[in-house]
């Protein structure tokens, strides 16, 4: 459902892999009976209304059912825990000109990437 890497892509304003995320959340939040039915039908029937409700803009995340929100929230927390430092540490390093300038160009770029990733994940936590 989520491709080879098993990851979802989030942007500043939207979920870029919204179909995969929506489908994954729906399947993972199914009861055993719902999942059996899903497997027997080999997925969902083509239903434009169902498809329309499956998209996940950031605004739509707050309308997710509670089990899906909790699953997403816990997943984001696990992702944040996988980093070696927290958002505040990255922000402090970015704000400390002397320490920042001691970093190599590559380390500076990596810092900006990590900081951006963590900002997006924190934004997602607030939404759900």
What is d(CA 20, CA 62) in angstroms, rounded to the nearest whole number? 18
What is d(CA 74, CA 76) in angstroms, rounded to the nearest whole number? 5
Residue 45: the pLDDT is 60
Residue 100: the pLDDT is 96
Residue 47: the pLDDT is 47
Tens digit of each residue's pLDDT (9 = 90 or more) over 42-100: 766 654 444 444 456 777 787 888 999 999 999 999 999 999 899 999 999 999 999 99
Residue 122: the pLDDT is 94
What is d(CA 97, CA 61) in angstroms, rounded to the nearest whole number? 37
Lowest mean pLDDT among 22-36, 68-82, 108-122: 22-36
Tens digit of each residue's pLDDT (9 = 90 or more) over 3-20: 566 678 888 777 878 778
Residue 4: the pLDDT is 60
Q: Give domain limits for the chain.
A: 18-126
CATH number for the segment(s) 18-126: 3.90.1420.10
Q: Quickly list DSSP for the chain.
A: --TTTT---B-SSBBTTHHHHHHHHHHHT--HHHHHHHHHTTS----HHHHHHT--BHHHHTTS-HHHHHHHHHHHHHHHHTSSS-HHHHHHHHH-HHHHHHS-HHHHHHHHHHHHHHHHHHHHHHH-
Residue 3: the pLDDT is 56
């Amino acid at each position: 459902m989520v491709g080879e890497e098993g990851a979802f892509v989030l942007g500043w304003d939207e979920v870029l892999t919204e179909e995969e995320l929506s489908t994954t959340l729906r399947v993972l939040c199914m009861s055993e009976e719902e999942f059996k039915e899903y497997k027997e039908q080999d997925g969902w029937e083509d239903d434009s209304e169902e498809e329309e409700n499956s998209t996940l803009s950031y605004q739509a995340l707050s309308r997710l059912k509670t089990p899906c929100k909790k699953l997403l929230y816990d997943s984001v927390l696990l992702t944040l825990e996988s980093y070696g430092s927290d958002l505040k540490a990255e922000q402090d390093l970015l704000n400390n000109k002397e320490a920042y300038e001691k970093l190599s160009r590559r380390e500076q770029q990596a810092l900006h990437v990590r900081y951006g990733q963590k900002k997006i994940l924190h934004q997602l936590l607030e939404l759900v």
